[in-house]
Amino acid sequence: MQTTTNRQSRSGSTYSRRNKSSKSTFSHKKPNRKPRRGSFSRGNSSHNRGGGRGRGARKMPTFDPSQFINTNPVELKEEKYIPKNSFNTLGLNEKFVKTITQIGLVTPSPIQDQIIGEILEGKDVIGLAETGTGKTAAFLIPLIEKNIKNPKQQTLILTPTRELALQISDELYKLSKGFNIRGIVCVGGVNIRPQIRGLRNRNQFVIGTPGRVLDLIKQKHLVTKDITTVVLDEADRMLDMGFIGDVRAILSTTPQTRETLLFSATMNSDAQKLVHDFLRNPITVSVKKKDVTNSIEQNVIRYEHHKKFETLLELLLKPEFKRVLIFGSMKHSVKKLAIELSANNVPAESIHGNKSHVQRQRALSQFKRGEVRVLVATDVAARGIHVEEVTHVINYDLPNTFEDYVHRIGRTGRATKRGKAITFVAY
């Protein structure tokens, strides 16, 4: 595997520091004019019903969101986890432990406590863990330790989205600071040439999305014969997004002696087949967070077919809707909804698959900084979005499955914050 020495360029290839978001402020001005009557306020069928996909009709929802109405969520007290290990007792490099502590990781989380030792021993592992459990550090810490001991170790990390790849890259940069460890991000939506140039040098870590990684392998810019570890992060979502063929093709190019680490929130049949075909006697570690369907306030909003947009606008005018993530079903409808909201004095941005990587990052940064208080997103584009203090999640279009519903509403009520989720349902 060939890699790069440049940590400055982030145009799809190598590390650099990104500006920290400023403290968020919110604007709650009421519109001084009536809502514009556009495609949304007229109840355009493509928007209100999710429309049809260019390659076939939209998959209709398979569950009734009204069954999850929960206006009085219980405050579940999770038992305090007492780790069996500390970062000092895991056999890690002393300087590395100091770096881990300096970035705020003092006590191992359950997934870190249970899985770091297994990875250090070279075992294949299955980590059943959701976002927010510390799973990224759970695989990065032992892999960095291996690189400290043996600089020839090479790791390929596959993720479902560009945003998640960048988050992993950022965490790798922080954890590996002070060590001669280099990494490169290879994702679609940006110019491939900087990535090709970066791969001419040696990286210990390649982090990428399956489509772009496979393209680079086929073009012989990414050599995988010396890969020692493959990480499949959020494997269930990668497979849901149709990457099963790409993932299998990539794994088949790597040595059979590699270590394979698979992390997933759930284990569907495709993931189980992947485990059967590519993992060797894996150790399974399962860490489940609290049940979000019990701990988040949930309700449905009934709307008349031709008044869907006005119903949404009335909600967003309420002062408690400070930072709102809205989910739509289609790329074009998400884009139009953000434009329509902004035209009605509700600052909004959108994030969807038709936007370039730079455009998506810009929209996400504006939302995090509070320059817009509404972010409209598709399910695919929202994967990997982790924004603190989201007060509300609104399912403007129904999610396809219960799993998608849980993923969506889990964007609010993070950490110790209480959140609310609202689902639009037609009369």
376 and 242: one domain? no
Q: Which candidate, 271, 267, 318, 265, places its Cα nearest to that of 292?
A: 265
Residue 384 — left, alpha, or beta (φ > 0 → left; ψ -120 to 50 → alpha)?
Answer: left
User: What pLDDT digit, counting tens, does each position of 321-373 carry?
Assistant: 999 999 998 889 999 999 999 999 999 999 988 888 788 889 988 998 999 99
Q: What is the pLDDT of residue 199?
A: 96
Is the pLDDT score of 53 beyond 60?
no
pLDDT for res 417: 60
Sign of the alpha-carbon torsion through 278, 279, 281, 285: negative
Q: Are 1 and 222 in contact (CB under 8 A)?
A: yes
CATH of the domain at 316: 3.40.50.300
pLDDT bin (cut points 50, 70, 90) of residue 419 is: confident
176 and 245 part of one domain: yes
Domain boundary among 287, 306, 338: 287
Question: In this structure, are 329 and 265 located in the same domain?
Answer: no
User: What pLDDT is stored for residue 360 in this prediction?
Assistant: 84
Could you tell me if 329 and 422 lie in one domain?
yes
Least reliable range by pLDDT among 253-257, 264-268, 328-332: 264-268
For residues 81 and 371, which has the higher predicted lDDT (pLDDT)?
371
Q: Tell whether 202 and 167 lie within a shared domain.
A: yes
Same domain, 218 and 194: yes
Question: Looking at the DSSP assignment, which residues form a beta bridge with residue 284?
Answer: 126
Average pLDDT over residues 268-284: 91
Co-location of 270 and 304 in the same domain: no
Phi first, then psi: give them for residue 405, nearest 5 degrees.
-60, -50
Quick one: what percent of the chain has pLDDT higher than 70? Answer: 78
Q: Do residue 57 and residue 132 come from a single domain?
A: no
* Structure confidence at residue 154 (pLDDT): 97
366 with 400, same domain: the answer is: yes
pTM score: 0.68
Domain count, the chain: 2
Q: Are residues 356 and 244 in the same domain?
A: no
pLDDT confidence of residue 410: 79
pLDDT surpasses 60 at 104: yes
State residue 354's pLDDT score: 84
Residue 14 within any structural domain of the chain: no
- Domain final residue pick, 269, 287, 305: 287
> Which domain covers residue 120, as residue numbers?
94-287
Per-residue confidence (pLDDT) for residue 70, from 0 to 100: 74
Which of residues 262, 287, 312 is at a domain's end?
287
pLDDT at 30 > cutoff 50: no
Judge whether 8 lies within some domain. Answer: no
Q: Is 92 helix (H, G, I), strand (E, B) or coil?
A: coil
pLDDT digits (tens, 9 = 90+) for 370-410: 999 999 998 876 666 677 788 999 999 998 877 788 878 87
Q: Do both 298 and 219 map to the same domain?
A: no
